[in-house]
Structure 1
Amino acid sequence: MIDVEDWAEIRRMHRVEGLSARAVARQLGISRNTVLRALASDRPPRYRRASKGSAVDAVEPAVRELLKQTPTMPVTVIAERIGWERGMTILRERVRELRPAYLPVDPVSRTVYEPGELAQCDLWFPPVDIPLGYGQTGRPPVLVIVSGYSRMITARMLPSRQTGDLIDGHWRLLTGWQAVPKTLVWDNEPGIGKGRLTSEFAAFAGLLAIRVHLCRPRDPAGPGQRSQCHRRALPRPGGPRRGHPVCRWGQHSAVLAHHTTGLQAAADRPGQPRVPAAGWVSAFLRSYLKFTSGVVESDVPKANASEIGLPSQTFRRIRLTSPFGRTVISVTNGHLPYPYGHETTGYKVANLATTLSKAKAAGATVLSGPHLSGGRHSAIVTFPGGYVAEIHDDNSG
């Protein structure tokens, strides 16, 4: 009987890597019939037999001590030092598992990812209390997923950091991508697993045929793609956005939209949800500028809202620059017409008309614009696969 992790790995190797059942069985050292049963089942195994242990267990403390002194010590030398008289295969496998924990992290290594190879996940918590409705405030977790190749960022606010809510958040965000990366990277979140995946999340990974990598504790190379402010929150189906910051980060520029749900009862101001209070915005802006080392370039309290799809209204627009690039912060009540607020990234180009022509030739669709607003020509475009981006060609970024 295989366990949940083996079941998930079998499905990943077969579906993602395209290996045959025979190849999977050979790599994992299990029978082909076991692989076929795992592929035929759409549910993870419900129990596993207790491990009988290994002959290496008795000498593992001595192996760890030798690796602690000399992380690169060859297996043959380790076998001689501990007086190993059994087969070398099981000793090599155990040393292979233990050695990475004692090897120093390479401070100058360069990491390169292929498209669809990896996405890094983490939870972010707002720096200030957020109105949750009915007089309640709090700081709910925001699940953030970052693509290792494109740096595309997507996020969603969750009710809690429990496993069930984390699985639901992954499902909704990956559904928005309309694609599943080969590997998800997590940094020891209890709801995901510490050292090994929780049974529920392992089953979820098996259903998607993906691998989940759990970073070692205190590994400085682990959180490579994360950023504590570049977060995007997706709208709730059939309803307004929850109150939290939203970032659309791109290669050339960023657009950050600060939204909230209606904070007043309908009887108070019917049909006119309030924008975030000035103190709330100021607190968030201070936190964002502190993290990014950014500088405010302009702050227009009543900018023309036609650039966010509301031509007869105004909104507060803040533009800043930082080592991360240029950022636009839009303070609104969150009730924006489609496709505004759905764009993932903002791009600055030399010529908007030329760019749109090339994009449409490649299968993209212009959802809005081009139009002139805020001193720039801009348009919102959706690319094959559902990727939505804002493109502009002004000189201000």
Structure 2
Amino acid sequence: MKRFAFLFAAAVVATSPIAVPAIAAPTTDYAVGAQYDTTHVYVPQDQFDTFVASFVATFGGTTSKQGEFQVTPTKSLTKSQLVLTPAGTVSVFGFKTPIPVPFGDERTGYLVTDLDAAVKSARSHGAVRRLETFPDPIGRDSVIQWPGGVNMQLYWHTAKPSYAPLQAVPENRVYLTADAADSFLKGWTGFAHAKVIADDKAADGSEIGEPGKTIRRVALTSGYGKMVVYVSDGQLPWPYGRDMTGYAVSDLSATLTKASAAGVETLVAPYTTGKRQTVIVRFPGGYIAEIHSDKVG
């Protein structure tokens, strides 16, 4: 009897389907392209035109028609204009009224193919909504926050825009402490389908104004463009951490000459790190940015 029971059990195992662990389906990539991803620049409305002129003088490019709009779900009014340059695009806002929360905290705006689905995906990867999706004059928007307080806008246009590809894709520069870095990187790579290009856990802290210290620098790329994440003790000297975007140019010296002539102030003098020469500048209106060239000289 025992032998029969053993053979029966063996036969059941041999003929039963083998259990296969479930594999999560890959999430959809909602990115459209780096030329549609903009740094949000808030400037005093009386310095709006001066900033736009200085940015175009520095990087070249064109602008959209300037207008005045309510771009928030609550009552407000801002000057608004898009500046499209070969080195990156900025959305400029010069509010004529107080700025409603949470606007002014978002660092970038990313165009997506499906806003509701993209927001749902971001939330599933650890982001939270700063406010619920709302309509604007040309589409729909949502503002989300990732671990570490990284705020960004996701948006969708009613009429599909068409912009030329960038000559150089800018870097979204994110500064975090170790408390949030891994959670942010896990969430962003999952949502954005981002690839880690380099993860240097012993980078020179002088790159972010902390000489003598070791930091972690993670470089990523995705359909939303480039990103560099600096992980440090957070004890950053000014202006580091205020620079949201890094712009790549072919000739840093020539770019700085044009920038200076347009009223742009150099905050951190050019210095070399690795194969890159880099500088931090402040445009009229207060916008702080990093500019770099991979060709030293």
8 Å Cα contact 1:246-1:256 kept in structure 2: no
Q: Per-residue displacement from partner, 1:217-250 (whole Å, max 9, x unpaired)? A: xx99323xx6757x8xxxxxxxxxx942367xx9
Give 1:287 shift: 1.1
Name the structure 2 match of 1:309: 209
Change (3 A) 1:192 1:371: closer
Q: Per-residue displacement from partner, 1:339-381 (whole Å, max 9, x unpaired)? A: 1111132100001111011100111111002000143100001
Give 1:284 shift: 1.6
Give 1:319 shift: 0.5
Select the residue among 311, 334, 339 that pairs with 2:239.
339
8 Å Cα contact 1:318-1:329 kept in structure 2: yes
Instruction: Write out aligned runs for 1:336-375 (5 A).
Output: 336-375=236-275
CA distance in 2, matches of 1:324, 1:193: 22
Name the structure 1 match of 2:149: 244
**Residue 350 of structure 1 aligns to which amino acid in structure 2?**
S
The answer to whether structure 1 residue 114 and structure 2 residue 16 are counterparts is no
Give 1:117 shift: 4.0
**Which structure has the greater CA radius of gyration?**
1
CA distance in 1, matches of 2:185, 2:70: 28
8 Å Cα contact 1:366-1:380 kept in structure 2: yes
Q: How many residues align?
A: 183
CA distance in 2, matches of 1:309, 1:118: 39
CA distance in 1, matches of 2:198, 2:188: 15
Name the structure 1 match of 2:223: 323
Select the residue among 110, 128, 140 that pairs with 1:222.
140
The answer to whether structure 1 residue 281 and structure 2 residue 202 are counterparts is no
CA distance in 1, matches of 2:151, 2:265: 24
Give 1:286 shift: 1.7
Give 1:148 shift: 5.9
CA distance in 2, matches of 1:153, 1:333: 31
TM-score, normalization: structure 1? 0.39
Select the residue among 242, 245, 257 that pairs with 2:174.
257
Change (3 A) 1:115 1:346: farther
CA distance in 1, matches of 2:132, 2:192: 30
Name the structure 2 match of 1:384: 284
8 Å Cα contact 1:319-1:329 kept in structure 2: yes
Give 1:316 shift: 0.4
Change (3 A) 1:220 1:282: farther
Select the residue among 77, 82, 85 that pairs with 1:149.
82
Higher strand share: 2
Higher helix share: 1
Change (3 A) 1:254 1:148: farther
5+ residue gaps, structure 1: 1-14, 17-111, 123-144, 155-165, 175-190, 195-213, 232-241, 260-274
CA distance in 2, matches of 1:336, 1:300: 19
Instruction: Write out aligned runs for 1:154-303 (5 A).
Output: 167=100, 169-170=102-103, 215=135, 221-223=139-141, 243-245=148-150, 252-259=169-176, 275-277=177-179, 280-303=180-203
TM-score, normalization: structure 2? 0.50
CA distance in 2, matches of 1:119, 1:152: 18
**Residue 181 of structure 2 aligns to which amino acid in structure 1?**
V
**Residue 258 of structure 1 aligns to which amino acid in structure 2?**
Y
Instruction: Write out aligned runs for 1:28-177 (5 A).
Output: 113-115=64-66, 117-118=68-69, 120=71, 149-150=82-83, 152=90, 167=100, 169-170=102-103
Change (3 A) 1:287 1:118: farther
4+ long deviations beyond 6 Å: 191-194
Give 1:309 shift: 0.7
Give 1:322 shift: 1.1
8 Å Cα contact 2:144-2:151 kept in structure 1: no
CA distance in 1, matches of 2:91, 2:236: 20
* 2:187 counterpart SS class: helix
8 Å Cα contact 2:81-2:91 kept in structure 1: no
**Residue 222 of structure 1 aligns to which amino acid in structure 2?**
R
* 1:149 counterpart SS class: strand
Q: Per-residue displacement from partner, 1:309-334 (whole Å, max 9, x unpaired)? A: 11111110001111222211111232
Change (3 A) 1:344 1:283: closer
8 Å Cα contact 1:253-1:325 kept in structure 2: yes
Change (3 A) 1:312 1:361: same
